[in-house]
Structure 1
Amino acid sequence: MSSVTTSPGSATGARLAERLQETRRRTLALVASIDDARLQRQHHPLMSPLVWDLAHIAAYADLWLSRADGAPAPLRPEVFALYDAFEQPRAVRGDLPLLDPTQARAYLQATLERACDAVLTADLGADAPRLHAGGFLWDLLIEHEEQHRETMLQALALAPAGWITPERAPLPARSGAADGLADLPGGVVEIGARTGFAYDNELPAATVELAPFRLDRGPVTAGAWRAFMDDGGYARRSLWTDAGWAWRAEQGIVRPLFWTEDDTAVRRFDRIEELRDDEPVLHVSAHEADAFARWRGARLPTEAEWEHAAALHPTEDPVLGGRTFGPAPTSPGDGTDVRGLIGDAWEWTSTEFTGYPGFAPFPYPEYSEVFFDRGYRVLRGGSWATAPCVARPTFRNWDRPERRQIFAGLRCAESV
């Protein structure tokens, strides 16, 4: 691999090469203590074997690095179908003839070297082909890997206790929830990305008209969720949509995922930790979030309302990066601002995932377009497990409304 400091590549190329290497160090560090048998085991149908994610990261890079004009042939095109996330549903990935951990690590190293060598010599100027301009392709590889590391953390959270004993970074010293709601102005507001790397579903930037609304100053907390439960929230049919009630009844859902039966503690990887009343509730579905909002006499915000709030109230010192292995309490703030929109917990919105007006798929429709208008719900903000580069105010996450493995919570909104 070419040296970042001595390469003739541009400053942008050198920066991207450094980021590629740092991203890879974090990925490999996450699984360094996990033996090969566990890397190859699929312990939940919603999540892939970890070794699938590792080789998928490599195959994705291999595929896209071969797509540019004049690029060399891919290293292992014979495995592309095996690691196609759209063609291979998660439930079947444990039965596939996957590369073993040694092979996956070798493939990761080979594609990392190819990615760094390519970016240090590529034309990244504004007039370069769109895949290269501004370093788009390499930003894509970095964000793709960062997103898969969060997915791997979801898999490890669902794994039996003891699969991983992480070294936890300290949480910020906060105490007390940000109570109450803040008034946010309506009007014509901007949504979508205007500068920097963005996925196709963040484009094109647009303006929308919003009515004034009120938004929770902080995310819904574990203490508030206990009050919902104590008031029969999981048993009151009137709070639930038809689909939500059917799901709740079929699955026997009576509390957030990972909470203990006495509702005082939560399992986080290798630990049973006491729940703090002022920490964001995590691992609730959109169905549960909808029911909670109705119990409050409120609703979930639209994603445009959420993004407008994030533009007006940037989050200071967000908990991101996957090093704390849990959320932090929300700072009380000064009583008028909105706290913690970025980090700690993804936040469900009421918006179904679809394209913005004028949407055009790039560089491939399977990233976004194939999920449009199929009942997926948008989440915003990022969690403690999300990489900082991914957790931008315009980033759109999405999942099925019944999903609870994601590090997701909510905040409520009210119309004025």
Structure 2
Amino acid sequence: MASALATRYSQVRARTLALAAPLSPEDAQLQSMPDASPAKWHLAHTTWFFSRFVLGDAASAMPAGWDYLFNSYYVGAGERHARAERGLVSRPTLAEVLDWRRRIDDRLLERLERDDVDEAALDVLLLGTHHEEQHQELLLTDIKHAFWCNPLQPACFDAASAPDCAPPSMDAQSGTGADWLVRDEAIDWIGAAPWPTAGSGFAYDNESPRHRVLVPAHAIAARPVSNAEYAAFVADGGYATPALWLSDGWEHAQRRGWQRPLYWHADGTREFTLAGWRERDPDAPVRHVSFYEADAFARWAGARLPTEAEWETAACRLAGAGRCWEWTSSAYAPYPGFRPLPGTLGEYNGKFMSGQQVLRGGSCATPPGHARATYRNFFAPPSRWQFSGLRLAKDPD
């Protein structure tokens, strides 16, 4: 197990560095809004996780003040620097953070080589690699927003390597040959077995326990809503029709001046990507819409958003999953019998089960192999900077 984990750890850590490689030290310092973090902070925080929770380093074993700077929201681990002020931390430098990553990697890999990591720490190490993969996606979404906020709106990657420029697959464009997947009422199973358990694959604690649900009769769209379909909503005055919107969604849209998805150009044909401005692909799934926008579009289309149970029980038949995170109508809440991880790591998911909506699927920025049918992503309803789109559902006629 230790050998396999050492390989996975090295691969994940190397991928984070590869994603950050195009960034200058100035780029890596940017924080464009409180919800986003600088790339340098992502590089440091993921290292802090392994230092603190796998190697067992105390604050005094880290460079002075770094435990305070690079903790995120683990109250049990001590005081933390304010999230909205991470972009103000010009020191340590990017070079110092990268050097720290190398030193932590060397120590951890050396201990794995000596088989000097107990079983509990190996479990945390595996969790840490999945945690870092989450931050790989956040690094991309955060730098995209930062570059879009720059008046020059520069490109971070060339089109061939930018994850949001890849052409949609054929199944994402045309579905499975049917517009809707119809299902009768049924009792089904969703969720994952609690991790870690013998023989079970990795899953976050919020995906467990596996449990039975009553899924009413419904139909779910074979593919996500496309750019062309969402453009029709925009052209039909969707952003100017209050009857389509939830009350707080309408307030957000009016106060923030929403008229189209985030990163769509006012010219109606282009969108901002990690490769800069590109012609918008009409067949690609619409991305960077909030829960409120997704809900309003569904109402305009005479449909609704699926529940997470409807989404998960149909996941093996859905086309286009993985091109964008898909909003569901389900509030982020604990499953019956939910038990968070013990200790400080129990803060990872459970304490956010208030005021959030569940998204399912995965996105073009999600690391390969990271997402799964039971994965429960979650964001606040106004969030738009993630690669979030939607899929429709409807009740029987």
TM-score range, shorter chain: 0.7 to 0.9
Q: 1:155 to 1:72 in 2, by over 3 A?
A: closer
Structure 2 match to 1:57: 46
Structure 2 match to 1:47: 36
Q: 1:302 to 1:78 in 2, by over 3 A?
A: same
Q: Which amino acid aligns with 2:382?
A: E
Question: Is 2:378 aligned against 1:403?
Answer: no
State the identity as a percent.
36
Question: Is 2:329 aligned against 1:350?
Answer: yes
Structure 2 match to 1:177: 174
Q: 1:259 to 1:63 in 2, by over 3 A?
A: same
TM-score scaled to structure 1, two decimals? Answer: 0.83
Q: Cα deviations across residues 349-407 of structure 1 (Å, max 9, x unaligned)?
A: 111111111111114232112111x2111111110100133211111111110010000
- TM-aligned CA deviation for residue 47 of structure 1: 1.4
What is the alpha-carbon distance in structure 1 between the residues aligned to residue 183 and residue 96 of structure 2?
53
Moved more, 245-254 or 224-233: 224-233
- TM-aligned CA deviation for residue 163 of structure 1: 5.3
Q: Which amino acid aligns with 1:91?
A: A
What is the alpha-carbon distance in structure 2 between the residues aligned to residue 25 and residue 231 of structure 1?
46
Aligned residues: 370
Question: Is 2:54 aligned against 1:82?
Answer: no
Q: 1:143 to 1:74 in 2, by over 3 A?
A: farther
Q: 1:377 to 1:273 in 2, by over 3 A?
A: same
**Matched position secondary structure for 1:351:** strand
What is the alpha-carbon distance in structure 1 between the residues aligned to residue 22 and residue 356 of structure 2?
35
Structure 2 match to 1:23: 12
Question: Is 2:251 aligned against 1:246?
Answer: yes
Please say if residues 190 and 207 of structure 1, whose CA atoms lie closer than 8 Å, have aligned partners that are also in contact. yes
Q: 1:163 to 1:43 in 2, by over 3 A?
A: farther
What is the alpha-carbon distance in structure 1 between the residues aligned to residue 330 and residue 186 of structure 2?
19
What is the alpha-carbon distance in structure 2 between the residues aligned to residue 218 and residue 88 of structure 1?
42
Q: Which amino acid aligns with 1:106?
A: D
- TM-aligned CA deviation for residue 227 of structure 1: 1.1
Structure 2 match to 1:203: 208
Out of 111, 116, 139, the position equivalent to 2:126 is: 139
Please say if residues 27 and 149 of structure 1, whose CA atoms lie closer than 8 Å, have aligned partners that are also in contact. yes
What is the alpha-carbon distance in structure 1 between the residues aligned to residue 60 and residue 110 of structure 2?
15
Structure 2 match to 1:330: none
Structure 2 match to 1:162: 154
Q: 1:235 to 1:104 in 2, by over 3 A?
A: same
What is the alpha-carbon distance in structure 2 between the residues aligned to residue 354 and residue 413 of structure 1?
21
- TM-aligned CA deviation for residue 205 of structure 1: 1.3
Q: Which amino acid aligns with 1:385?
A: A
What is the alpha-carbon distance in structure 2 between the residues aligned to residue 118 and residue 399 of structure 1?
37
Q: 1:74 to 1:16 in 2, by over 3 A?
A: farther
What is the alpha-carbon distance in structure 2 between the residues aligned to residue 378 and residue 199 of structure 1?
14
**Matched position secondary structure for 2:277:** strand
Q: Cα deviations across residues 151-209 of structure 1 (Å, max 9, x unaligned)?
A: 11011211133252346256466384336211124312111113211111111111111
Q: Cα deviations across residues 296-321 of structure 1 (Å, max 9, x unaligned)?
A: 111111111111111x42xxxxxxxx
Moved more, 111-120 or 12-21: 111-120
**Matched position secondary structure for 1:349:** strand
Q: 1:31 to 1:357 in 2, by over 3 A?
A: same
What is the alpha-carbon distance in structure 2 between the residues aligned to residue 400 and residue 165 of structure 1?
28
**Matched position secondary structure for 1:209:** strand
What is the alpha-carbon distance in structure 2 between the residues aligned to residue 345 and residue 17 of structure 1?
30
Question: Is 2:238 aligned against 1:220?
Answer: no
Give the aligned CA root-mean-square deviation in angstroms. 2.3
Q: 1:177 to 1:223 in 2, by over 3 A?
A: farther
Q: Which amino acid aligns with 1:105?
A: L
What is the alpha-carbon distance in structure 1 between the residues aligned to residue 184 and residue 68 of structure 2?
49
Moved more, 387-396 or 213-222: 387-396
Structure 2 match to 1:191: 190
Q: 1:76 to 1:61 in 2, by over 3 A?
A: farther
What is the alpha-carbon distance in structure 1 between the residues aligned to residue 333 and residue 111 of structure 2?
34
Structure 1 match to 2:76: none
Q: 1:386 to 1:89 in 2, by over 3 A?
A: farther
Question: Is 2:311 aligned against 1:306?
Answer: yes
Report which of the two has the higher share of helix.
2
Structure 1 match to 2:300: 295
Structure 2 match to 1:150: 137
- TM-aligned CA deviation for residue 251 of structure 1: 0.4
Question: Which runs of 5 or more structure 2 residues have no equivalent in the other structure?
Answer: 74-79, 194-199
Moved more, 396-405 or 351-360: 351-360
Q: 1:181 to 1:173 in 2, by over 3 A?
A: closer
Q: 1:184 to 1:32 in 2, by over 3 A?
A: same
Structure 1 match to 2:280: 275
- TM-aligned CA deviation for residue 120 of structure 1: 4.0
- TM-aligned CA deviation for residue 74 of structure 1: 4.9
Q: 1:21 to 1:72 in 2, by over 3 A?
A: farther
Question: Is 2:23 aligned against 1:34?
Answer: yes
- TM-aligned CA deviation for residue 59 of structure 1: 0.6
